[in-house]
Structure 1
């Protein structure tokens, strides 16, 4: 695979494994060259529970992506999620030497080191250390720091970390294909690069990537990444609730949820019935539409309220509102429930329009893997929102210092 401007993004999700191959044009536009996906098996809540089965699924998705893009994939940007991922904001101050009057690059590196010097659990590893803002002598100053007169420099970073073994498991799965991992990226962070524009981030936006096993989120205030995390509940839990309530096989419940279900149950005629067929199309009975919708509503609301609890203090700053992406965001009525839970404007969004064969992929299901392509481009162009600490070499030492295959 050409290294210059062609990238591959890999999402290992609870519902699907997806590989996207994209080319970044000179004007910054992304041309999607091919997408390959396969149903996820051996994966639960975004985490690998059966390596052999998961590897077969990954290989299927990879071969399809290579066939459709006519690109031999050797390196991928790997998106990860899971309830083990946590985050925090931390700041630091560096005082310039008495014989120095202006800021140098070394001073910025020193203040970054101080701001990112935080204690995390011993079994965790850093995923991202992203600069939020810099200050000079108590005044916020984001740009043009080098050469500025100062006595001290301040910095604040958003730090994302997760359980080392779980991150290693994902890398191990990819390497056994074999593929090389260019970088490991918290998936909703990647999705936000294509699902949120600059104005949304500046105005205050919460992006919820609502998938099969988890609801991951990132929150921006004043253009800065302010909060991120994961709620270990997703669309599969809604399907399981339907199965338990109506005693219907899981596969049929998934179809009911997608084809007939809604997160809104008020106003539905209580006498309206839905016919239920088995996997062979044979009639097995009927269920009340209102009850189906109520089951969907209750679990959907619970998941969204769990996210709200995590970001409660920032809700007054969400001028742009809440943005829903991921496969579950396509469910009928979810935007209405989200609006009621968060009390702000809610937008269902996918990836922004790209070039190439994208008619199928400009939807919420592909925000994460397409976002990995944009993330790869930003890494290469060294955009200011990425910390130098995000470079893979240093992180790979951290991730594998206590692990061998």
Structure 2
């Protein structure tokens, strides 16, 4: 596949989406094809049946290939699920020589130190995100490189996850005949797709309500500050409707989508939906008021748990205030009156996030649905990774050329971008898969 193409694979609890995108000449992303299949082997964001997941992946990929007439080789995949948790941690290093300036290596040393944190069995650090640095006790430094100092410390946002779950995702991709090109944290992917840079600066909480989980990512001053995965999503609402109304799942899902609302006040008592009974049984009559009450009870629970996380981040403190409020995305964000409910519970400004921030202007309506936020974000991530690879290759070629020149002509090398944890993780998962046969 050419370098300006990328494929995002969103392995969700309800659906698996394969999306092919390319960058156009204006730097915007065009979506060339989408494939979607029912996700059968995933529970609460975690693969629990490898065979079924492989079949669902292959079906989605095939559909995307047919739609775009492009053969898919490698994919960027998102990881989420109930095993992801995050913690705050600070650490410091003492530099041997405070008369030299702080460089990349010092920061790497500091970040590697975080790796010594003791985790629960089976957990591994997925992501270490430096929040702010201190040099010799001087606080609030955003970029310490180039400064003098003996003691370098930082606050980190550390994301942890279950190694086995991540390897299982890798396994499914490999067995589907695809290359694993990159792994991204899903809340980060969705955030890239729906948030503007201004929102990330001002302070914003992105809530991605999926089928099996609800992901939260909080940004402030352009940096991710907090992430959390809450193990409930749209599916528990469907379950509740199914139980509460004694109907089958398919009917419950349709009811939720067509008539559901998060706000019971607005339905009149006499609004009734009639649902065909199973095999010769009488049809059931369900009042919309009851339907909304069931949905309301569950969605309030989800929103309240998310709000606890927002408070954990410290939203009430003046300098951590989220000025841009809340952005809702994911399939669950399509529930009627959800925005009003969230504003009512949290007292924060709320909007629905559509993944059109980086998409070409003429993109299809359905691509820009909140349903596809994660998939679009994964495509963006894949494209970014391709660009980085291209730059690295050019640098290598450049170096090879330069080595033939006399020494005095070699310019100072530009500072290379530090490889992110997810890139290292991707490599570790790949190595593991290659050696696991």
Q: Report the TM-score, using the length of structure 1 for normalisation.
A: 0.91
- 1:368 paired residue number: 374
Distance 1:116 1:222 in 2: 25
Write the distance in 1 (CA, Å) between the matches of 2:98 and 2:328: 52
Which residue of structure 1 aligns with residue 260 of structure 2? 261
Mark the CA change 1:349 to 1:391 in structure 2 (over 3 Å): closer, same or farther: closer
Partners of 2:124 and 2:24 lie apart in 1 by 34
Q: Structure 1 263/387 Cα, relative in aligned 2: closer, same or farther at 3 Å?
A: farther
Please give the secondary structure, in 2, of the residue aligned with 1:134.
strand
Residues 170, 429 of structure 2: 8 Å contact kept:
no
Contact 2:126 2:422 in 1 (8 A): no
Is 1:136–1:153's contact at 8 Å kept on the other side of the alignment? yes
1:261 & 1:178 partners in 2: Cα distance?
Answer: 40
Partners of 1:91 and 1:116 within 8 A in 2: no
Give the superposed CA RMSD: 2.6
Please state how far the C-alpha of 1:380 moved relative to its aligned partner: 5.0
Within-5 A mapping of 1:8-23: 8-23=7-22
CA-to-partner distance for each residue in 1:229-258, whole Å, 9 max, x for gaps? 111111111111111111111101111110
Structure 1 segment 4-403 matched on structure 2, within 5 A: 4-25=3-24, 27-98=26-97, 100-137=99-136, 138-143=138-143, 145-278=144-277, 284-313=283-312, 314-316=314-316, 317-353=321-357, 354-355=359-360, 357-379=363-385, 388-393=419-424, 395-397=426-428
CA displacement 1:114-135 (0-9 Å, x = unmatched): 3444222230122222232333
Contact 2:87 2:159 in 1 (8 A): yes
Q: Distance in 2 between matches of 1:302 and 1:87?
A: 21
Q: Which structure has the greater CA radius of gyration?
A: 2
| More displaced 10-residue stretch of structure 1: 217-226 or 253-262 | 217-226
- State the Cα deviation string for residues 72-126 of structure 1 (Å, max 9, x = none): 1111111121111111122222232236332222222222223444222230122
Task: Report SS of the residue matched to 1:370.
Answer: helix
* Larger displacement relative to structure 2 (240-249 or 131-140): 131-140
CA contact (8 A) 1:322 1:345 kept: yes
- The change in CA–CA distance for 1:26 and 1:127 in structure 2 (over 3 A counts) is farther
- Partner SS state of residue 315, structure 1: coil
Flag the 1:401–1:72 CA change in 2: closer, same or farther, 3 A. closer
TM-score of the pair, normalised by structure 2: 0.85
Q: Give ranges in structure 1 of 5+ residues lacking alignment.
A: none
- Mapped contact 1:164–1:399 kept (Cα < 8 A): no
Q: CA 1:111/1:241 → structure 2, altered by over 3 Å: closer, same or farther?
A: same
Secondary structure of 1:266's match? helix
Check conservation: 1:7, 1:21, Cα contact below 8 A.
Answer: yes
Q: Deviations over 1:329-379 (max 9, x none)?
A: 001111122112211011111202512643320110111011012223444
More helix by share: 2
How many angstroms apart in 2 are the aligned matches of 1:99 and 1:306? 46
Query: Residues 149 and 61 from structure 1, CA distance in 2 versus in 1: closer, same or farther, beyond 3 angstroms?
Result: same
Q: Secondary structure at the match of 1:226?
A: strand
